[in-house]
Chain A
């Protein structure tokens, strides 16, 4: 306790003590660089806020419920901006990614933390961390060149010709394009897999051994120990891991841009080109000819920023909450 109190000196006291040595400049210098980090965040917030002002004033909240995205006047379509295609595409592709990746990734986390032979634990864990660090454009290359042709030929086509005749969202006549929400979602799931697995493993290894021993001493099987003691204890942390994975899927740009097809319409099936928020911004912003087009794209970016921020912070909060230790600490 004494230790904790010693570090709980007030800011002012601490500074006063340090500056006694004539360290004011040192403090000021590091402080100014630290403030610069905050400035970076402000730059993002300010730019996305002020540059989306035009779109916010023009469209209001209806922007997020309107289904048409026609940045360029054509004989058939008037110019209109609605975020629905981006929202639907982002949510559907991320949901696919999460549904595919979360159970498998949690399984990997459990395997690495609880069941893996000790010899394999370090190399396998390292491999998972490495995979999380591989640039997303590489997943995109593989997706475009290898997976998309294979998947379209051997999975998408047969499905659309059979089940797709009955279930509309698995059919469509654009299957052969090899782009769509399902294929993007699958590649996203491969990308977020290592992220979720690595964090799940980390939070599981933080579970105190005593919780395992209680169950073992009652004659539980290995799986019962995992399922009844370890996983419940780490539940908040595992949810946090999945949320971080979701945040990555929502904001992922390159793999989505390369595989979703960049067609800004609400798709009718999982097998036709669509778009996501990130890929819409990436593919159109630098080409935007009108101010309102640019502003609408920045507004989408702002919404994406806000949502991923919220997800990331609540995920961190959950993981922190779990690491804090037993809820009502042992009181002797």
Chain B
């Protein structure tokens, strides 16, 4: 009858099971942390070391110089090799700048990294910002509709549509944008072709559900009393919504927009099918453009270490962007609302 010894015969076994299972759960957590820490660590260290002034201010420079002035590398396994990026985006920029002479004849696989990803940064910023500009009015207004007129068949369908959009693989959105825009016949009877704006529209599909649902959630958090106070003073619903309710929830809406931006900036698959990529600095949204995720993808597949370095650097920039946005959102919403 003691509290220290076993009252039931299986006491020792139960204690052992408890210990073992808790240990296993702990091991599972530790096990999962290993690859995740490795990935972040590699991107931080290799990607971080790829950064320098040139990385942010220069555009792509082919790893070979005067000895092979022709085009970028052609990877026989690369399905895009036959597209000939050089021809598509115009002539290669002048190569063989400072230091070219020293590299003459050097093994191309040992060429030091050179060039930068300015074209990708500019492209990603342009494509994602334009996508955001299209997605914002749709998402915010649809979110207002969902929160102000919540119980009707349209609202239910819109929520369902958001679930469909946010669950769809991004490749599907890419296919849709490719067929709807890139492959569509223009006024001259020719396909419209790869353009930055097609990428923006593809990203819009992915941003709208995030913004819509976040807006709805934060607007619902605005107390009914706040609305009623405005209405009691004789304001109309739209006036109270736009002057009282939306400003109250503004930081939450901005949060949704930031998350949508971070998601859009990292998307790769839709861009493969819409903006294609480019090795030069393009600011015209009606032409193929470069983008950081595309640079990361294409230069990872490259056999040239100098291009691989650019891929690591771009991965680093993308990861920092995502981490930064999420941390900012976390700080902004801490203890106020939970969001996913």
Q: Cβ of A75 < 8 Å from any Cβ of B?
A: no
Q: Report whether A135 and B266 are in contact in the complex, using a CB–CB cutoff of 8 Å.
A: yes
Question: Looking at the complex, which of A154-162, A165-173, A246-254 is the stretch in contact with chain B?
Answer: A246-254
Interface set, chain B 169-193, CB cutoff 8 A to A: 169-176, 178-180, 182-183
Q: Cβ of B225 < 8 Å from any Cβ of A?
A: no
**Residues of chain B with a CB closer than 8 A to A115's CB:** 22, 25-26
Q: Report whether B142 and A142 are in contact in the complex, using a CB–CB cutoff of 8 Å.
A: no
**Residues of chain B with a CB closer than 8 A to A58's CB:** none
Q: Report whether B330 and A194 are in contact in the complex, using a CB–CB cutoff of 8 Å.
A: no
A227 to B18, CA, bound (A): 10
A129 to B204, CA, bound (A): 23
Q: Cβ of B223 < 8 Å from any Cβ of A?
A: no
Question: Looking at the complex, which of A61-69, A80-88, A301-309, A323-331 is the stretch in contact with chain B?
Answer: A301-309
Q: Cβ of B232 < 8 Å from any Cβ of A?
A: no
Q: Report whether B153 and A11 are in contact in the complex, using a CB–CB cutoff of 8 Å.
A: yes
A82 to B80, CA, bound (A): 23
Q: Cβ of B253 < 8 Å from any Cβ of A?
A: no
Q: Cβ of B91 < 8 Å from any Cβ of A?
A: no
Give the interface centre of B39, B142, B312 by most chain A CB atoms within 10 Å.
B39
Output the least CB separation between B303 and chain A (Å): 12
Q: Cβ of A119 < 8 Å from any Cβ of B?
A: no
Question: Looking at the complex, which of B55-63, B93-101, B112-120, B156-164 is the stretch in contact with chain A?
Answer: B156-164
Q: Report whether A37 and B273 are in contact in the complex, using a CB–CB cutoff of 8 Å.
A: no
A48 to B236, CA, bound (A): 43
**Residues of chain B with a CB closer than 8 A to A254's CB:** 268-269, 293, 297
- Chain A: interface secondary structure? helix
Output the least CB separation between A8 and chain B (Å): 7
Q: Cβ of A126 < 8 Å from any Cβ of B?
A: yes
Q: Report whether B168 and A305 are in contact in the complex, using a CB–CB cutoff of 8 Å.
A: yes
Q: Report whether A144 and B301 are in contact in the complex, using a CB–CB cutoff of 8 Å.
A: yes
- Chain B: interface secondary structure? helix
**Residues of chain B with a CB closer than 8 A to A297's CB:** 175
**Residues of chain A with a CB closer than 8 A to B304's CB:** none
**Residues of chain A with a CB closer than 8 A to B212's CB:** 37
Task: Return the contact of A40 from the options B144, B208, B231, B315 (Cβ within 8 A).
Answer: B208
Task: Return the contact of B269 from the options A37, A139, A223, A282 (Cβ within 8 A).
Answer: A282
Task: Return the contact of A304 from the options B144, B171, B204 (Cβ within 8 A).
Answer: B171
Question: Looking at the complex, which of B29-37, B102-110, B125-133 is the stretch in contact with chain A?
Answer: B29-37
**Residues of chain A with a CB closer than 8 A to B236's CB:** 21-23, 26
Q: Report whether B22 and A222 are in contact in the complex, using a CB–CB cutoff of 8 Å.
A: yes
B141-169 Cβ-contact flags toward A at 8 Å (1 or 0):
11011101111111101100111110111
Q: Cβ of B111 < 8 Å from any Cβ of A?
A: no
Interface size class of A (residues with CB under 8 A): 35 or more
Nearest B residue (CB) for A42: B161
Interface set, chain B 278-327, CB cutoff 8 A to A: 293, 296-297, 300-301, 308, 311-312, 315, 318-319, 322-323, 326
How many of B's residues come within 8 Å of A, CB to CB? 100
Q: Cβ of B38 < 8 Å from any Cβ of A?
A: yes
A30 to B237, CA, bound (A): 12
Known: A30-B145, A146-B42. A41 touches B164 (CB 8 A): yes
Task: Return the contact of B145 from the options A33, A126, A250 (Cβ within 8 A).
Answer: A33
Q: Report whether B268 and A107 are in contact in the complex, using a CB–CB cutoff of 8 Å.
A: no
Q: Report whether B322 and A135 are in contact in the complex, using a CB–CB cutoff of 8 Å.
A: yes
Q: Cβ of A131 < 8 Å from any Cβ of B?
A: yes
Interface set, chain A 260-319, CB cutoff 8 A to B: 262, 278, 281-287, 294, 297-298, 301, 304-305, 308-309, 312-313, 316
Q: Cβ of A193 < 8 Å from any Cβ of B?
A: yes
Q: Report whether A287 and B268 are in contact in the complex, using a CB–CB cutoff of 8 Å.
A: no
Q: Cβ of A35 < 8 Å from any Cβ of B?
A: yes
A308 to B142, CA, bound (A): 25
Q: Report whether A251 and B172 are in contact in the complex, using a CB–CB cutoff of 8 Å.
A: yes
Q: Cβ of A214 < 8 Å from any Cβ of B?
A: no
Q: Cβ of A136 < 8 Å from any Cβ of B?
A: yes
B203-221 Cβ-contact flags toward A at 8 Å (1 or 0):
0110011001000000000
**Residues of chain A with a CB closer than 8 A to B172's CB:** 44, 48, 251, 301, 304-305
Output the least CB separation between A299 and chain B (Å): 11
Q: Report whether A140 and B300 are in contact in the complex, using a CB–CB cutoff of 8 Å.
A: yes
Q: Report whether B300 and A145 are in contact in the complex, using a CB–CB cutoff of 8 Å.
A: yes
Q: Report whether B141 and A33 are in contact in the complex, using a CB–CB cutoff of 8 Å.
A: yes
A253 to B141, CA, bound (A): 31
Known: A126-B330, A145-B308. A137 touches B297 (CB 8 A): yes
Task: Return the contact of B146 from the options A22, A34, A134, A226 (Cβ within 8 A).
Answer: A34
Nearest B residue (CB) for A9: B151
Known: A41-B165, A104-B28, A253-B170. A141 touches B141 (CB 8 A): no
A253 to B148, CA, bound (A): 37
Task: Return the contact of A253 from the options B138, B171, B330 (Cβ within 8 A).
Answer: B171
Q: Cβ of B121 < 8 Å from any Cβ of A?
A: no
Q: Cβ of A99 < 8 Å from any Cβ of B?
A: no
A110 to B241, CA, bound (A): 42
Q: Report whether B171 and A34 are in contact in the complex, using a CB–CB cutoff of 8 Å.
A: no
Q: Report whether B312 and A312 are in contact in the complex, using a CB–CB cutoff of 8 Å.
A: no
Known: A141-B315, A262-B79. A43 touches B176 (CB 8 A): yes
Q: Cβ of A207 < 8 Å from any Cβ of B?
A: no
Q: Report whether A145 and B273 are in contact in the complex, using a CB–CB cutoff of 8 Å.
A: no
Q: Report whether A141 and B300 are in contact in the complex, using a CB–CB cutoff of 8 Å.
A: yes
Nearest A residue (CB) for B148: A30
A15 to B27, CA, bound (A): 56
Interface set, chain A 90-144, CB cutoff 8 A to B: 103-105, 107-108, 110-112, 115, 126, 129-131, 133-142, 144
13 A-B pairs in the complex with CB atoms less than 8 angstroms apart: A48-B172, A108-B32, A130-B322, A134-B266, A138-B296, A145-B308, A223-B18, A247-B167, A252-B169, A278-B269, A285-B175, A308-B169, A309-B167
Known: A129-B326, A297-B175. 10 other contacts (CB 8 A): A14-B152, A23-B237, A34-B145, A44-B176, A103-B28, A138-B315, A140-B300, A221-B14, A224-B14, A253-B174
